[in-house]
Amino acid sequence: MERIYAIVTGDIVKSRNHNAKVWLPVLENSLEEYSTNFDIFRGDSFQAEVELEKSFEILFYIKAKIKSISQLDVRLGLGFGSIENLDKHIKNSTGEAFINSGEAFDELKKELMNMQSPWREWDVPINLMLQLSTELANKWTENMAESVAATFENPLANQQELANILHRKYQSQVSTELNKASFMKIKKVIEYCTHELLKQC
Protein backbone atom coordinates (compact mmCIF):
# COMPACT_ATOMS: atom_id res chain seq x y z
CA MET A 1 0.00 0.00 0.00
CA GLU A 2 1.27 3.47 -0.93
CA ARG A 3 2.37 5.71 1.89
CA ILE A 4 -0.11 8.50 2.63
CA TYR A 5 1.21 12.01 3.29
CA ALA A 6 -0.46 15.12 4.74
CA ILE A 7 0.03 18.53 3.12
CA VAL A 8 -1.32 21.85 4.42
CA THR A 9 -1.78 24.79 2.04
CA GLY A 10 -2.80 28.18 3.40
CA ASP A 11 -2.67 31.94 3.34
CA ILE A 12 -3.14 34.78 5.79
CA VAL A 13 -6.45 36.67 5.57
CA LYS A 14 -6.10 40.48 5.50
CA SER A 15 -2.29 40.23 5.70
CA ARG A 16 -1.89 43.47 3.72
CA ASN A 17 -3.52 45.39 6.57
CA HIS A 18 -0.61 44.41 8.84
CA ASN A 19 3.15 44.76 8.76
CA ALA A 20 4.64 41.38 7.81
CA LYS A 21 7.21 41.83 10.57
CA VAL A 22 4.35 41.26 13.04
CA TRP A 23 2.79 38.08 11.64
CA LEU A 24 5.55 36.45 9.56
CA PRO A 25 7.68 35.30 12.55
CA VAL A 26 4.50 33.95 14.20
CA LEU A 27 3.64 31.96 11.05
CA GLU A 28 7.21 30.65 10.69
CA ASN A 29 7.33 29.54 14.33
CA SER A 30 3.90 27.89 14.02
CA LEU A 31 5.00 25.85 11.00
CA GLU A 32 8.32 24.92 12.65
CA GLU A 33 6.37 23.54 15.62
CA TYR A 34 4.82 20.84 13.41
CA SER A 35 6.88 20.59 10.22
CA THR A 36 10.48 20.21 9.08
CA ASN A 37 9.55 20.80 5.43
CA PHE A 38 7.63 23.97 4.61
CA ASP A 39 7.73 27.02 2.36
CA ILE A 40 6.31 30.53 2.68
CA PHE A 41 5.86 32.21 -0.70
CA ARG A 42 4.07 35.06 -2.47
CA GLY A 43 4.34 36.96 0.79
CA ASP A 44 1.50 35.37 2.75
CA SER A 45 0.99 31.89 1.25
CA PHE A 46 2.50 28.73 2.68
CA GLN A 47 2.67 24.97 2.31
CA ALA A 48 3.89 22.33 4.75
CA GLU A 49 4.28 18.58 5.02
CA VAL A 50 3.09 17.39 8.45
CA GLU A 51 2.77 14.08 10.28
CA LEU A 52 -0.56 12.33 9.76
CA GLU A 53 -1.05 12.16 13.53
CA LYS A 54 -0.78 15.96 13.79
CA SER A 55 -2.48 16.96 10.54
CA PHE A 56 -5.80 18.06 12.05
CA GLU A 57 -4.24 19.56 15.16
CA ILE A 58 -1.96 21.87 13.14
CA LEU A 59 -4.98 23.47 11.44
CA PHE A 60 -6.34 24.76 14.74
CA TYR A 61 -2.87 25.53 16.12
CA ILE A 62 -2.00 27.79 13.17
CA LYS A 63 -5.43 29.40 13.42
CA ALA A 64 -4.92 30.06 17.14
CA LYS A 65 -1.47 31.59 16.59
CA ILE A 66 -2.64 33.86 13.77
CA LYS A 67 -5.88 34.88 15.52
CA SER A 68 -3.82 35.93 18.54
CA ILE A 69 -2.82 38.89 16.32
CA SER A 70 -5.55 41.52 16.09
CA GLN A 71 -7.83 41.29 13.01
CA LEU A 72 -5.90 38.49 11.31
CA ASP A 73 -7.13 35.03 10.32
CA VAL A 74 -5.99 32.17 8.11
CA ARG A 75 -7.43 30.00 5.31
CA LEU A 76 -6.31 26.36 5.32
CA GLY A 77 -6.60 23.44 2.92
CA LEU A 78 -5.52 19.98 4.11
CA GLY A 79 -4.77 17.26 1.57
CA PHE A 80 -3.94 13.57 1.92
CA GLY A 81 -2.46 11.20 -0.63
CA SER A 82 0.69 9.81 -2.20
CA ILE A 83 3.70 11.90 -3.25
CA GLU A 84 5.65 11.38 -6.50
CA ASN A 85 8.46 13.85 -5.91
CA LEU A 86 9.29 15.48 -2.57
CA ASP A 87 11.60 18.41 -3.34
CA LYS A 88 13.64 20.22 -0.67
CA HIS A 89 11.49 23.23 -1.66
CA ILE A 90 8.06 21.80 -0.95
CA LYS A 91 6.30 24.11 -3.42
CA ASN A 92 8.21 22.29 -6.21
CA SER A 93 6.97 18.87 -5.06
CA THR A 94 4.33 16.83 -6.90
CA GLY A 95 1.79 14.11 -6.18
CA GLU A 96 -1.74 13.32 -5.09
CA ALA A 97 -1.32 14.88 -1.62
CA PHE A 98 -0.34 18.23 -3.18
CA ILE A 99 -3.20 18.12 -5.69
CA ASN A 100 -5.72 17.34 -2.93
CA SER A 101 -4.31 20.05 -0.65
CA GLY A 102 -4.40 22.64 -3.45
CA GLU A 103 -7.94 21.71 -4.47
CA ALA A 104 -9.12 21.75 -0.85
CA PHE A 105 -7.69 25.25 -0.55
CA ASP A 106 -9.06 26.44 -3.91
CA GLU A 107 -12.58 25.30 -2.95
CA LEU A 108 -12.64 27.59 0.09
CA LYS A 109 -15.31 30.23 -0.32
CA LYS A 110 -16.76 31.58 2.92
CA GLU A 111 -15.29 28.66 4.87
CA LEU A 112 -11.77 29.02 6.23
CA MET A 113 -10.91 25.31 6.48
CA ASN A 114 -11.34 22.40 4.08
CA MET A 115 -9.94 18.89 3.57
CA GLN A 116 -9.63 16.52 0.62
CA SER A 117 -8.43 12.91 0.57
CA PRO A 118 -8.38 9.94 -1.82
CA TRP A 119 -11.52 8.67 -0.01
CA ARG A 120 -14.18 11.10 -1.22
CA GLU A 121 -17.09 9.59 0.75
CA TRP A 122 -14.99 9.91 3.91
CA ASP A 123 -14.36 13.59 3.15
CA VAL A 124 -18.03 14.55 3.55
CA PRO A 125 -18.57 13.91 7.30
CA ILE A 126 -15.00 14.95 8.19
CA ASN A 127 -15.40 18.28 6.39
CA LEU A 128 -18.74 18.86 8.07
CA MET A 129 -17.11 18.45 11.48
CA LEU A 130 -14.16 20.62 10.45
CA GLN A 131 -16.39 23.43 9.23
CA LEU A 132 -18.58 23.38 12.35
CA SER A 133 -15.45 23.46 14.51
CA THR A 134 -14.09 26.32 12.42
CA GLU A 135 -17.27 28.28 13.11
CA LEU A 136 -16.48 27.97 16.83
CA ALA A 137 -12.84 28.94 16.24
CA ASN A 138 -13.82 31.96 14.13
CA LYS A 139 -15.24 33.50 17.33
CA TRP A 140 -11.95 33.33 19.25
CA THR A 141 -10.74 36.61 20.70
CA GLU A 142 -6.99 37.30 20.83
CA ASN A 143 -6.85 36.10 24.45
CA MET A 144 -8.83 32.94 23.70
CA ALA A 145 -6.54 32.19 20.75
CA GLU A 146 -3.45 32.69 22.95
CA SER A 147 -4.81 30.24 25.52
CA VAL A 148 -5.66 27.65 22.85
CA ALA A 149 -2.19 27.95 21.27
CA ALA A 150 -0.47 27.64 24.66
CA THR A 151 -2.50 24.50 25.42
CA PHE A 152 -1.39 22.89 22.16
CA GLU A 153 2.23 23.88 22.86
CA ASN A 154 2.15 22.61 26.45
CA PRO A 155 -0.18 19.58 26.45
CA LEU A 156 1.02 18.37 29.89
CA ALA A 157 0.75 21.76 31.63
CA ASN A 158 -2.02 22.37 34.15
CA GLN A 159 -4.01 25.61 34.05
CA GLN A 160 -1.88 27.31 36.70
CA GLU A 161 1.22 26.58 34.61
CA LEU A 162 -0.56 27.85 31.51
CA ALA A 163 -1.50 31.03 33.40
CA ASN A 164 2.18 31.55 34.24
CA ILE A 165 3.25 30.93 30.63
CA LEU A 166 0.62 33.40 29.38
CA HIS A 167 1.33 35.94 32.16
CA ARG A 168 -2.30 35.79 33.24
CA LYS A 169 -2.87 37.01 36.80
CA TYR A 170 -5.36 34.26 37.65
CA GLN A 171 -5.54 30.60 36.66
CA SER A 172 -9.31 31.04 36.27
CA GLN A 173 -8.71 33.39 33.31
CA VAL A 174 -7.21 30.55 31.30
CA SER A 175 -10.05 28.21 32.27
CA THR A 176 -12.64 30.81 31.24
CA GLU A 177 -10.89 31.56 27.95
CA LEU A 178 -10.61 27.85 27.02
CA ASN A 179 -14.29 27.29 27.88
CA LYS A 180 -15.41 30.27 25.80
CA ALA A 181 -13.16 29.03 22.97
CA SER A 182 -14.96 25.64 23.06
CA PHE A 183 -11.52 24.09 23.25
CA MET A 184 -12.59 20.68 24.59
CA LYS A 185 -15.21 20.31 21.84
CA ILE A 186 -12.65 21.21 19.16
CA LYS A 187 -10.09 18.88 20.74
CA LYS A 188 -12.59 15.99 20.56
CA VAL A 189 -13.15 16.73 16.86
CA ILE A 190 -9.37 16.73 16.25
CA GLU A 191 -9.00 13.41 18.08
CA TYR A 192 -11.93 11.83 16.22
CA CYS A 193 -10.76 13.00 12.78
CA THR A 194 -7.20 11.83 13.51
CA HIS A 195 -8.42 8.41 14.69
CA GLU A 196 -10.59 7.97 11.59
CA LEU A 197 -7.73 9.09 9.30
CA LEU A 198 -5.30 6.55 10.74
CA LYS A 199 -7.94 3.82 10.24
CA GLN A 200 -8.15 4.80 6.56
CA CYS A 201 -4.37 4.66 6.15
**130 in Cβ contact with 115 (< 8 Å):** yes
Q: Residue 87 — very low, low, confident or very high, per pLDDT cuts 50/70/90?
A: confident
Of 86 and 70, the one with more pLDDT: 70
With a pLDDT cut of 90, the percent of the chain lying above it is 91
> What does the pLDDT look like over 131-181, one tens digit per residue?
999 999 999 999 999 999 999 999 999 999 999 999 999 999 999 999 999
Question: Domain ranges in the chain?
Answer: 5-121
120's CB contacts (< 8 A; 6+ apart) are none
- Distance, in Å, from the CA atom of 136 to the CA atom of 159, rounded to the nearest integer, reads 21
Topology (CATH) of 5-121: Alpha-Beta Plaits (3.30.70)
User: Does the pLDDT at position 63 exceed 80?
Assistant: yes
- Distance, in Å, from the CA atom of 32 to the CA atom of 76, rounded to the nearest integer, reads 16
